Amino acid sequence: MATEPNLQLKSHEFNCSPSNVMHIDLNSCFASIEQQANPTLRGIPTVVAAYPTGGGCVLAASIEAKKLGIKTGWRVRDAQKVCPQVAVLIPDPAKYRHVHKEMMKIFEAYCGNVTPKSIDEAVLTFGKPERRAWFAANVEGEPSVFGLTEDSLSESQTMPELGNIGKQIKKDIKEKIGEWLTVSIGIGPNRFMAKTAAGLQKPDGLEEINFMNVDRIFSGLKVEDLCGINVALKSRLNAAGIYSALEFLNANRYTLNAVFRSISSYHWYMRLRGFEVDNWSTERKSIGHSYALPKATNDERELGKILFRLCEKVGLRLRNNNLEAQGVYLFCSYKGRTCFHKSHKLHQKIFTTPEIYQQGLRILSESLKMVNSIGTLAVGVFDLSQSLYQQQTFFEDQDKKRHLAQTLDKINNKYGNFSVSFGTTFGLSKKILDRIAFGGIRDM
């Protein structure tokens, strides 16, 4: 459990170190990439949806569509009510992965510490020692314990080198990837401030939040404008008399302790003052895939085929990460919005697609006893551990199983997923569409 350091700050003592974090967000990611690929869509309201039918969920809206009020999460039919001429496309993950990888190459040319946060976002952390040396050479006065004092710079004298790098990154993206693609860039002394700055002037913004302008910027923001504040937290902050981001910043420790009642109060206290508390990563606990059926069904044979294809995708990711699993879970949502979820802990570790499928099918058969039509099916594995996948075993059947899985994975990794597959999924090549999650960047 995280413990609170013995660090005493005044209610509004902001981090005065030079900004060293840059947050980059590709505007209207999926839709903009589609417009880049197809110039006839440029300037036209465009949405990318899970399905092109009226009930399909909008995954991304172009800048033109957003200006009309169309939002992510809407149904296609609702977007068409706002704009009957809106162009509706289904996702093309291969395009999005390609753009993501090309963007990472550009970022890494400017910074040695690049952290992709999602398919359309990345954080660049620049070295503080070099930046402090720049300030010492260009600004009168010595840096304080947190960097510079407020009197050392006027608000107009912002950190020019990161601003110039941001401008060059924008230029490189247009020249090397696509002229229709724009990014919003935020700069700050920590990840939170950089992300907040990136959202100030969308699309195509370049903003910085630092100790000189934080009061002015936060005075124009509500607490719900800040990343991480959901409806429940907003209500709790409002109950404590905190409505604006500036009031949140100026709140003392006792007030925040009363609002959050956990270590989160300390994290927010430091985060709002420009100190880094978000530079951490979580251990992977599960791997899963889901599929929303175009039409709900209780046909066990049809669902079994879909389940097998999902298990193939889960198994491939499991093995590519050199992991084994000791648990399988299944989730189903039904017509009428009821759902079924069950997990099964195993006595032995598994890693192959047939093993995952065998366990998932047992749970699926149990779920179908509810006699409802399944609209969404998801399967995954948990209780992960590093695999002895590369080592030989004393058991011939286990050794053959590992060798077969390795061979299939090598072919599919080289020629594309499902280039070689099991007969169980015959006829499903177009049924399970390739999908990509905004946060699904670990296996890119």
**Interhelix angle for 253-260 vs 264-271, to 10°?**
130
Q: What is the pLDDT at residue 338?
A: 78
Question: What is the DSSP track for 229-283?
Answer: --HHHHHHHHHTT--BHHHHHH--HHHHHHHH-STHHHHHHHHTTT-------PP
**CA separation for the pair 26, 229 (Å, rounded):** 22
Phi, psi of 147 (to 5 degrees): 125, -105
Angle at 374 between CA 373 and CA 376, to 5 degrees: 155
Helix, strand, coil percentages for the chain (3-state, nearest 5): 40, 20, 40
Q: 207, 200 in Cβ contact below 8 A?
A: yes
Q: Compute CA distances 342 → 124, 304, 440, whole Å.
A: 40, 17, 23
**CA separation for the pair 153, 135 (Å, rounded):** 10
Is the alpha carbon torsion for 360, 361, 365, 370 positive or negative? Answer: positive
**CA separation for the pair 345, 112 (Å, rounded):** 41
Write out the two tokens for 5.
Answer: 């350091």
Task: Write out the chain's pLDDT in tens, 444 residues.
Answer: 444 444 444 445 899 888 999 999 999 999 999 999 999 999 999 999 988 989 888 999 999 999 999 999 999 999 999 999 999 999 998 899 999 999 999 999 999 899 999 999 999 999 754 443 444 444 443 333 333 333 433 333 344 589 999 999 999 999 999 999 999 999 999 999 999 999 999 999 999 999 999 999 999 999 999 999 999 999 999 999 999 999 999 999 899 999 999 999 999 999 999 999 998 766 778 899 888 888 888 888 889 999 998 998 898 888 888 888 999 999 988 766 678 888 999 988 888 888 999 999 999 988 887 657 888 899 999 998 886 544 444 444 555 666 666 676 666 666 655 555 555 555 554 445 555 554 555 555
Write out the two tokens for 405.
Answer: 């899985």
| Cα 48 versus chain centre, distance | 17
- Report the side by side order of strands in the sheet with 46-49: 58-61, 46-49, 87-89
**Residue ranges covered by each domain of the chain:** 14-213, 219-281, 286-425
What's the CATH number of domain 286-425, 3.30.1490.100, 3.40.50.620, 1.10.357.10, 3.40.50.11540?
Answer: 3.30.1490.100
**CA separation for the pair 125, 113 (Å, rounded):** 5
Write out the two tokens for 141.
Answer: 């006065």
Helices within 38-159 (DSSP H only)? 63-67, 76-82, 93-110, 128-138
Q: 92, 104 in Cβ contact below 8 A?
A: no
CATH class of the domain at 14-213:
alpha beta
CATH architecture of 219-281: Orthogonal Bundle (1.10)
Q: Compute CA distances 385 → 273, 327, 382, 401, 407, whole Å.
A: 38, 11, 9, 19, 22
Q: Compute CA distances 77 → 19, 28, 110, 335, whole Å.
A: 44, 20, 43, 19
Tokens 């759902």 identify what position?
A: 339
**CA separation for the pair 47, 433 (Å, rounded):** 18
Q: Compute CA distances 315 → 17, 310, 351, 408, whole Å.
A: 46, 9, 6, 11
Q: 83, 62 in Cβ contact below 8 A?
A: no
- Give the number of other CB atoms < 10 A from CB of residue 273: 22
User: In 3D, which of 23, 28, 21, 22 has the Cα closest to residue 178?
Assistant: 28
Q: 62, 35 in Cβ contact below 8 A?
A: yes
Q: What is the pLDDT at residue 294?
A: 80
Q: 227, 200 in Cβ contact below 8 A?
A: no
Q: 289, 378 in Cβ contact below 8 A?
A: yes
Fold identical between 14-213 and 219-281?
A: no
Phi, psi of 327 (to 5 degrees): -160, 150
